[in-house]
Amino acid sequence: MSTYNESARPKVTTSRLMEMKRLGEKIACITSYDYTMAGIVDAAGVDLILVGDSAANVMMGYDTTLPITIDDMITFAKGVARGAKRAFVVVDLPFGYYQGNPELALASAVRIMKETGAEGVKMEGGSEIRESIARILSAGIPVCGHLGLTPQSVNKFGGYGVRAKGDEEAQRLIDDAKMLDQMGCFAIVLEKIPAALATKVTAEVSAPVIGIGAGSGTDGQILVIQDMLGMNRGFSPKFMRRYGDLADVMEKSLNRYVTDVKAVDFPNASEQY
Ligand code: KIV
């Protein structure tokens, strides 16, 4: 049984996300990477689905998000866009397809929009990618910013620790968030920064701010679906709440299947032609 009110389900658009911020209605966001999962997520009432480049980790088994290609992202995003009926679908531009090259950035974003059916792109960074963001926005493609811990820069940061704890980095983040807002980004993700800083940024920009590891003062929250459903046993940072133990459910179900096949209990007489 769904606990989400099925009758109040307008399609989520960029203007609806802005309206939600204005009304103080929190925005529930989750990552997804395939058609089946996107359909379940959409039916549950999630407002925004991110086809994150975290697919590099949770779908492809890489240690970082750096190796994933735009073709990989397009494959994942095609399924998600077909599965999502109501949620707004955003796709990460992967590492190496937009930094320092506005023409490439526009070409990458256009490919995502043309080939997947998604509704916007997300890009990691602030002033250093300003021209790339501007070029994409000028083509009418909605852009979501991403500041704080930006995993595509893991080698620069030297790890996945909390960002912007010091005054200088915090001020840079505030300036970048205001810049993204003024440029017309439809939303800004803030990852793994102090809650007080995220609350301040949320109050000072008009774009909806979506937090992950950024406290409760943002306009919405996002988590990686495998993490929050407990499919990813090894990953449990402080900010993550586990809403299920799917790894356990799946493993037990598969154990039963293996047992039944080996015992020639599956298929039985009613399960064959
Ligand atoms: O790639 C991703 O899943 C993300 C979210 C964690 C925000 O960028």
Residue minimizing CA distance to atom 3 of ligand 1: 52
Residue 11 has pLDDT above 70, yes or no: yes
Give SS3 for 188. strand
Average pLDDT over the chain reads: 96
Mind telling me the catalytic residues? 191
How close is the Cα of 52 to the center of ligand 1, in Å? Answer: 5
Mean pLDDT in residue range 138-153: 98
Beta bridge partners of 50: 31, 90
* Structure confidence by residue, pLDDT tens digits, 81-90: 999 999 999 9
Q: Which residue has the tokens 């009432």?
A: 45
Q: Is 192 left (phi over 0), alpha (psi -120 to 50) or beta?
A: left
With pLDDT > 90 as the criterion, what percentage of the chain qualifies? Answer: 95
Contact 106, 136 (CB under 8 A): yes
pTM of the model: 0.96
Residue 149 has pLDDT above 90, yes or no: yes
Residue 7 has pLDDT above 80, yes or no: no
How close is the Cα of 187 to the center of ligand 1, in Å? Answer: 13
| Three-state DSSP string of the chain | CCCCCCCCCCCCCHHHHHHHHHHCCCEEEEECCCHHHHHHHHHCCCCEEEECCCHHHHCCCCCCCCCCCHHHHHHHHHHHHHHCCCCEEEEECCCCCCCCCHHHHHHHHHHHHHHHCCCEEEEEECHHHHHHHHHHHHCCCCEEEEEECCHHHHHHHCCCCCCCCCHHHHHHHHHHHHHHHHHCCCEEEEECCCHHHHHHHHHHCCCCEEEECCCCCCCEEEECHHHHCCCCCCCCCCCCCCCCCHHHHHHHHHHHHHHHHHCCCCCCHHHCC
* Structure confidence by residue, pLDDT tens digits, 231-259: 988 888 999 999 999 999 999 999 999 99
Contact 120, 144 (CB under 8 A): yes
Mean pLDDT in residue range 154-177: 98
* Structure confidence by residue, pLDDT tens digits, 189-218: 999 999 999 999 999 999 999 999 999 999
Q: Is the peptide bond before 208 cis (omega within 30 degrees of 0)?
A: no
Contact 192, 205 (CB under 8 A): no
* Structure confidence by residue, pLDDT tens digits, 78-112: 999 999 999 999 999 999 999 999 999 999 999 99
Residue minimizing CA distance to atom 4 of ligand 1: 52
Query: What is the amino acid identity at position 149?
Result: L
- Helix (H) / strand (E) element for 252: namely helix 246-262
Q: Which residue has the tokens 């916007």?
A: 120
Q: Which of 212, 225, 229 to mutate to test the pocket of ligand 1 (most atoms within 8 A of CB)?
A: 212
Q: Using a 6 Å CB cutoff, which residues line ligand 1?
A: 31, 50, 52-54, 92, 189, 191, 212, 222, 224
* Structure confidence by residue, pLDDT tens digits, 27-64: 999 999 999 999 999 999 999 999 999 999 999 999 99
Q: Which residues contact 212 (CB under 8 A, 6 or more apart)?
A: 189, 190, 191, 192, 221, 222, 223, 239
pLDDT on residue 3: 56
Longest dimension (CA), the chain: 70
The token duo for 230 is: 């407990």
How close is the Cα of 257 to the center of ligand 1, in Å? Answer: 34
| Residue 10 binned pLDDT confidence (cut-offs 50, 70, 90) | confident
pLDDT on residue 233: 83
Residue minimizing CA distance to atom 5 of ligand 1: 52
How close is the Cα of 58 to the center of ligand 1, in Å? Answer: 11
Higher pLDDT, 157 or 233: 157
55: nearest Cα among 40, 71, 41:
71
Report the distance separating Cα 252 and Cα 34, nearest Å: 23
Residue 1 has pLDDT above 50, yes or no: no
Contact 177, 188 (CB under 8 A): yes
Residue 114 has pLDDT above 60, yes or no: yes
Looking from the CA of residue 223, the nearest atom of ligand 1 is 6
pLDDT on residue 8: 61
